[in-house]
Amino acid sequence: MVDPDKAPSLPHGVSPPLSHAQEKRSEGTEPDLDPMTLLRRTAYSSSASSSILQIAGTFFRAPHSSTAAVAGSTYGVHVFQCPDTVGIVAKLSECIASHGGNIHSVDVFVPEDRRVFYSRSEFVFDPARWPRVLMDNDFSNLSKFFNAKISIVRVPDLEPKHKIGVLASKQEHCLVDLLHEWQDGRLPVDIKCVISNHERAPNTHVIRFLERHGIPYHCLPTSPGNKREDEILNLVKDTDFLVLARYMQILSGRFLDSYGKDIINIHHGLLPSFRGGNPSKQAYDAGVKLIGATSHFVTEGLDAGPIIEQMVERVSHRDNLRSFVQKSENLEKQCLGKAIKSYCELRVLPYELKKTVVF
């Protein structure tokens, strides 16, 4: 436990954390991380067991009517990762309440046997009482005090949407579903461009949709000797992250390093099984009773990045390869959309080397 009398001084205007009884957990360390780029380039040694850790987590949601108490309510979300210690939630709450804000929900995760604290807080506030510049400064002070590795605050109504680039190949089901979700306002993103390595006729549904909504479309045919990566990098340099909507090309390590931001992929199989090409046939030949789709971050390893979302459906001896593929395509669309939304809503945080916390 932390001795409050020996705790470092808080910045001016912030009182010290409250003490309470806390179970002793063994020490653990994690790497320093760029807040908006998760695990792709992180490398560190860890003595943690490879077995699945048991979870110690809590969730609190305030009554819905509590949000009405804040005049001029604007929604905000804050995520935090720091070494576990006494009083973190109390000080986060105090920081918000001291400016007239009101917490709507708090989700906390502390892995067993690891002194690491994760949280995601939703709150409402009045921007007139708590201007964004002051908010950033207050959360920055808390971040420094608790030695946080991740501290991100987002106010969707006052900030631009995440800018994304979408890469696709011949199959269109994921791309079409993504475009329709965006059109309906269900994906909080700004699609800056769609890039494909396959030609599409001018009168196709996708091309007409993109033209109608003013979304640039770029066709960059690839070959084994030319992946057109430099051209892709130039087109997506101003995006916040990329989405691979069944883009059937492997991005090189040089591309990943040059882009330097997160890339979300959809794999038409239930990872870590059936990696690589034609996972539906792999699953069919193996006689599985469950098939799935997996959305994950892209790393240099083939279909090996940290998993964000997975969805499954039962199959039986009555299914054939065609029905496997049809069921998989439905799962892929749902899985990719949910992963993108979770990422934009700050629900995804890095956990150890190959895992994620998804609130």
Which residues are designated catalytic?
303
Instruction: Return the closest-CA partner of residue 196 out of 158, 231, 161, 240.
Output: 231
272 upstream amide cis, omega within 30 of 0:
yes
Per this entry, what is the length of the chain?
A: 359
Give the other-Cβ count within 10 Å of 206's Cβ: 18
SS (H, E, C) 325-341: HHHHHHHHHHHHHHHHH
Q: Who's near 100: CB < 8 A, 6+ residues apart? A: 70, 125, 126, 129, 130
Q: Measured between alpha carbons, how far apart are the two ends of the chain, in Å? A: 26
Tokens found for residue 16: 């010290």
Distance (Å, rounded) from C-alpha 18 to C-alpha 87? 5
Q: Who's near 319: CB < 8 A, 6+ residues apart? A: 284, 327
Residue 77 has phi, psi (to 5 degrees) of -140, 140
Distance (Å, rounded) from C-alpha 315 to C-alpha 329? 14
Q: Which residue has the tokens 């098939």?
A: 291
* CB contact at 8 A, 101 and 124: yes
